[in-house]
């Protein structure tokens, strides 16, 4: 049991390392490939549209093909892509990488989330492992952003050779899955269910406040993915920090999210989730209003390292600490309210929603940047979603009252 947990955790951490590049891609698309801000805002679509298309059908394919074999094949294909992209080195090759990495993200996340139900004993254990996985995912994201920063600083004309590092990571994970066992007996029993039975989970979640869950998820994804995708460019374009430093400071958003999830794993053992969330969201709203009303253009133009960066540059990443536990807790509530046989389907539905909301929020923020400027764009993209989360948490709490613990 421990070995299977460790295997799923390592796989999820590996996923975080190879799938965290969107903030860098947005910045490099503008500064390295010289495309417009509006066009850069569409890069998220190249990741999220494939997720949207394949997520709904992928769960049943994975059940039939098997989790272990699916992961091995996925890693093998992705290694080839990672090795090839730096040789081509065009904006279209970057777009191709984003498409393939989006598909890898779908496959690995569905398998990882579905496996949690197979290797945990109860709802509390399930929520704890999901929070731990997401916290470690964010930690891996931080490492990935710093790795990107190092390549851009040391090899500005060959920064995309970082994909060769990702190929090595995937090779190690492929070897781990190829030469270690994984109990898929419960998956094999689910495979025998008629397709109609596998889709029953949709009716179950629709009866449990699914629309409110979708609204909360949209607000959260705007905060984490929308803001996260544009934060490096905000730092370089508005604060006028150097590009490598912009990425480093933006990575503190992921640091905050990771710390928030680690803290949430402990606090949620003693405090009801909705009480902690309301306190966090009110503090975050006040913090964002104060920070965004006191930012000046070019305030970081003289900074060359983290220690010279203006203190206010670290304010936006603080948002991560307060919103960090929201996504894994909401996802765990939804998963534990449905039978294990539908967890792959429910994860697919969550993936579809995330794909829609990620691409939509990134595009909207890009349009707001063009029309209103970066500071006002971030004001709209933080305060409105925070307000939505505060307002709709209590209706969601009533609809999931059986899973509060």
Question: Which domains are seen in the chain, by residue range?
Answer: 2-403 (1.20.1250.20)
Residues 184 and 118: their CA atoms lie apart, in Å, by: 9
Query: Which pLDDT does position 1 carry in this prediction?
Result: 46
Predicted TM-score (pTM) of the model is 0.72
* Cβ burial, residue 79 (10 Å; 0-12/13-18/19+): buried
DSSP result, 297-338: TTTTTT--SGGGS-GGGGTGGGHHHHHTTHHHHHHHHHHHTS
Long-range contacts of 307-316 (CB under 8 A, 24+ apart): 309/241, 309/245, 309/249, 310/239, 313/235, 313/239, 313/241, 313/249, 314/249, 314/252, 315/287, 315/291, 316/227, 316/231, 316/234, 316/253, 316/288, 316/291, 316/378
- Residue 76 token pair: 């093998």
Query: Which pLDDT does position 84 carry in this prediction?
Result: 94
Contact present, 258 and 324 (Cβ < 8 Å): yes
pLDDT tens, residue order, the chain (405 aa): 447 888 999 999 999 999 888 878 888 888 888 888 778 878 877 887 777 777 767 777 787 788 889 999 999 999 999 999 999 888 899 999 999 998 999 899 888 888 887 787 766 677 778 888 988 988 888 889 889 989 998 998 899 999 999 999 999 999 999 988 877 766 655 555 555 555 555 555 555 567 888 899 999 988 887 677 778 888 887 787 887 788 888 888 888 888 998 888 788 778 888 888 899 999 999 988 888 887 777 676 777 778 777 777 888 888 889 998 888 888 887 777 776 667 777 777 887 787 778 777 877 887 887 777 778 888 888 899 999 999 988 887 776 654 454
What is the C-alpha end-to-end distance of the chain, expressed in Å? 23
Determine the longest span between alpha carbons in the chain, in angstroms: 64
DSSP result, 223-285: IIIIHHHHHHHHHHHTS---HHHHHHHHHHHHHHHHHHHHHHHHHTTTS-HHHHHHHHHHHHH
Contact present, 161 and 86 (Cβ < 8 Å): yes
Query: Which pLDDT does position 45 carry in this prediction?
Result: 79
Query: Which pLDDT does position 12 carry in this prediction?
Result: 93
Q: How many CB atoms lie within 10 A of CB 333?
A: 22
């Amino acid at each position: 049991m421990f070995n299977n947990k460790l295997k799923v955790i390592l796989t999820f951490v590996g996923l975080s390392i190879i799938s965290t590049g969107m903030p860098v891609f947005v910045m490099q698309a503008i500064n390295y490939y010289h495309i417009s801000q509006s066009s850069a805002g569409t890069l998220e679509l190249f990741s999220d549209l494939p997720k949207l298309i394949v997520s709904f059908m992928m769960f049943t394919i994975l059940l039939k093909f098997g989790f272990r074999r699916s992961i091995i094949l996925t890693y093998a294909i992705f290694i080839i892509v990672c090795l090839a992209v730096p040789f081509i080195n065009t904006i279209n090759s970057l777009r191709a990488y984003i498409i393939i990495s989006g598909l890898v993200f779908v496959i690995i996340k569905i398998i990882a989330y579905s496996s949690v139900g197979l290797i945990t004993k109860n709802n509390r254990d399930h929520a704890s492992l999901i929070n731990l996985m997401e916290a470690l995912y964010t930690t891996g994201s931080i490492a990935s952003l710093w790795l990107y920063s190092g390549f851009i600083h040391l090899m500005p004309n060959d920064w995309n050779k970082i994909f060769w590092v990702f190929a090595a990571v995937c090779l190690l994970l492929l070897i781990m899955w190829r030469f270690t066992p994984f109990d898929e007996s419960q998956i094999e029993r689910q495979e025998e269910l008629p397709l109609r039975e596998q889709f029953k989970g949709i009716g179950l979640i629709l009866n449990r406040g699914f629309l409110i869950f979708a609204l909360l998820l949209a607000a959260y994804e705007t905060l984490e993915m929308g803001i996260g995708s544009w934060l490096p460019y905000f730092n370089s374009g508005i604060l006028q920090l150097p590009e490598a430093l912009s990425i480093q400071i933006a990575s503190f958003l992921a640091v905050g999210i990771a710390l928030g999830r680690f803290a949430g794993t402990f606090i949620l053992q003693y405090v009801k989730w909705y009480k902690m969330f309301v306190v966090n969201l009110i503090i975050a709203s006040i913090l964002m209003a104060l920070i965004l009303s006191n930012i000046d253009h070019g305030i970081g133009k003289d900074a060359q390292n983290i220690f010279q960066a203006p203190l206010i540059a670290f304010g936006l990443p603080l948002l991560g600490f307060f919103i960090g536990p929201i996504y894994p807790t909401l996802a765990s509530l939804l998963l534990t309210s449905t039978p294990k046989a539908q967890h792959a389907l429910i994860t697919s539905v969550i993936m579809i929603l995330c794909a829609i909301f990620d691409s939509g929020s990134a595009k909207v923020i890009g349009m707001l940047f063009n029309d209103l400027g970066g500071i006002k764009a971030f004001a709209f993209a933080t305060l409105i979603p925070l307000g939505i989360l505060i307002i709709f948490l209590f209706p969601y709490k009533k609809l999931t009252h059986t899973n509060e613990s």
